[in-house]
Structure 1
Amino acid sequence: MITLRKTGSFFVGGRRVRVTGQTPYQVTLSSTETREYDPNGTYWIESAYVQYFLQAEPRYEVPLVLMHGGGLTGAMWEDTPDGRPGWLQLLLEAGMSVYVVDNVERGRAGFCALDGVWPDRPLSRSDEEAAQIYRFGCAGHRFPSEAMQGLSAQTVPRWPSTRELQQRALFDVVKRIGPCALLGFSQGGGLVFGAAAGARELVRACVALEPHGVPASFEGNLAGTPALMVFGDFVAEDEHWRALANHADASIAAWNAAGGRAERLDLPALGIRGNTHMMMMDTNSEEVFRVVLDWLGPRIAFDRERS
């Protein structure tokens, strides 16, 4: 049973911009509403949206912040595409308080529709690109392919130029929440490592699922901060993923050289086979969740002894 003391949401970060010199034009808003739209004015942009679920009696000392991947939103942590409980549900059942981020230009954070503010065009991910990048074509994979529409429906446009905005926003999220642990996926995995290094006095542990964009070096003393990178199956057979895994190894070495305690976990080495990039949606997603929780839980439990 899940017993929460509070749920809610907030926006964090961003900046104010002023638009001038634009020509107003006519817009039709509904069958009965047509009017002149003036794009000139003051706007607040580049905020992140955060939804939270706070336990009445948490079993862990700090909450966990979930960071989605590229072209996705916080919805990826909810139900799986074929309707099974997602990791958010499992975390709440485990007694953990959770903050779920929709980062800059994703989901309920909104995006900047003002001409000339962001320098590039948004990208959308096709089903064909997803199948290739997520390793859905590998024999024996565990993604529920019959439910691909559910993944496609939650895929949203992304702007390549906003990564630094997203890194800054996640750092602002951590400062707003206070002591916490971080779990990020793919692009979000790189962001949580960056945020953990930038707010090392607040981040108790950091987990990244098949990350990319992890910094190649870390300045200062990470003071034993534990960190984990998790990889699924079929990585060695794919040139793109081999390169990302090699970069992850280099980042782990850099984290440890800065005084942290990072490690890499390959699911096949545990006898867990068939996992794609979307391991939190694969048919054995709960088994993968247990592996992650078994590592993370002792490191953020009450009265823990830091290992």
Structure 2
Amino acid sequence: MITLRKTGSFFVGGRRVSVAGQTPYQVTLSSTETREYDPNGTYWIEAAYVQYFLQAAPRYEVPLVLMHGGGLTGAMWEDTPDGRPGWLQLLLEAGVSVYVVDNIERGRAGFCALDGVWPDRPLSRSDEEAAQIYRFDYAGHRFPSEAMPGLSAQTVPRWPSTRGLQQQALIEVVKRIGPCALLGFSQGGGLVCGAAGIASEARDLVRACVALEPHGVPASFEGDLAGKPALMVFGDFIEQSAHWRALADHADASIAAWNAAGGQAERLDLPALGIRGNTHMMMMDTNSEQVFKVVLDWLGPRIASAG
């Protein structure tokens, strides 16, 4: 049974911009309304959206913040594309208080549709690109291929130029929440490592950091990480892919840098535990609950029990 004391959401970060000198034009908003739209004015952009689920009797002293991957939103932690419970549900059943982030230009967060404010065009991920990057093209993979439309439906555009904004937004999220643990996936894995290991205003608030097959991980850490635990998790078929071998090498270098700064980071390869077939989307694979248990078993002892 899940017993929550509070659920809700908030926006954090962002900035105000003003538009002037643009020509108004006619727009049709519905079958009964056509009007002149004036793009000039003041707007608030680049805020992150955070939804929270706070336990009545939390299992751990600090909550867990979930950070999605590139081209995805916080929805990736909810039900799997084939309808099984996602990691959000499993965390709540385990008594963990959870914050789920939709970072800048994703999901319910603030993005910018104003011409000339962001310098580049948005990118969308095709099913073909997803199958290659997510390692769905290897025999024995555990992603439920029949549910690919469900994954494709939750894929959203991304702007390459916003990574720095997203890093700062996550730092602002941590500052708003206070002491917490971070769990990030893919691009989000790089962001949580950056927030926990580099940003001085967030470093002391982050009790532990988990990155699932991250990219964009920092190559060095200047501050004192003072025993701070971190885990980087990789699935199967890494050695068969030059792309993934390179990302794993970057992760190894980041782990070494984390430890050189006084932290306690390690890499966990699921096949080394006898868990085979996991793709990049390990939280959606058919054995997602098994992978979840591995991650929670590592994380639990490192965030003190509230009891």
For the criterion TM > 0.5, the same-fold answer is yes
User: Matched residue of 2:203: which SS?
Assistant: coil
Q: CA deviation at 1:284?
A: 0.1
Distance, in Å, in 1 between the alignment partners of 2:98 and 2:59 is 12
TM-score when normalising by structure 2: 0.97
TM-score by structure 1 length?
0.97
Return the match for 1:272 from 264, 271, 275. Answer: 275
Give the structure 2 partner of residue 300 of structure 1.
Answer: 303
Structure 1 segments, 4+ long, off by >4 Å, are none
Structure 1: runs of 5 or more not aligned: 302-306
Shift of residue 145, structure 1, vs aligned partner: 0.1
The one-character-per-residue Cα deviations of 1:29-59 (angstroms, maximum 9, x if unpaired) are 0011000000000000000000000000001
Using the alignment, how far apart are the partners of 1:153 and 1:186 within structure 2?
A: 19
Residue 202 of structure 1 is aligned with which of 202, 205, 213?
205
Deviations 1:156-212 (A, max 9, x none): 00000000000000000000000000000000000000011xx11100000000000
Unmatched 5+ stretches in structure 2: 197-201
Structure 1 distance, partners of 2:84, 2:39, is 43
Q: CA deviation at 1:220?
A: 1.5
Provide, for residues 86-124 of structure 1, a one-character-per-residue CA deviation record: whole Å limited to 9, x for no partner. Answer: 000000000000000000000000320000000000000
CA offsets per residue over residues 230-269 of structure 1, 9 Å max, x none? 0000001100000000000000000000011000000000
Give, in whole Å, the separation in 2 of the partners of 1:194 and 1:30.
Answer: 44
How many matched pairs? 300
Q: What residue in structure 1 maps to residue 24 of structure 2?
A: 24
Task: Find the aligned partners of 2:61 and 2:11 in 1 and give their Cα distance.
Answer: 24
Distance 1:209-1:288 versus aligned 2 partners, 3 A rule:
same
Q: Which residue of 2 aligns with 1:219?
A: 222
RMSD: 1.1
Counterpart-to-counterpart distance in 2, 1:110 and 1:176: 17
Separation in 2, partners of 1:62, 1:11: 20
The 1-side partners of 2:217 and 2:159 are apart by: 19
3-state SS of 2:165 partner: helix
Q: In 1, Cα distance between the equivalents of 2:223 and 2:31?
A: 60
Query: In structure 2, what is the Cα distance between the partners aligned to 1:288 and 1:245?
Result: 18
- Could you tell me how far apart the structure 2 residues matched to 1:172 and 1:193 are? 15
Note the C-alpha offset of 1:84: 0.2
Percent of pairs with identical residues:
91
**1:1-307 mapped onto 2 (5 Å cutoff):** 1-196=1-196, 199-301=202-304
- Distance in 2, matches of 1:47 and 1:223, equals 31
Q: Tell me the distance in 1 between the aligned counterparts of 2:39 and 2:143.
A: 44
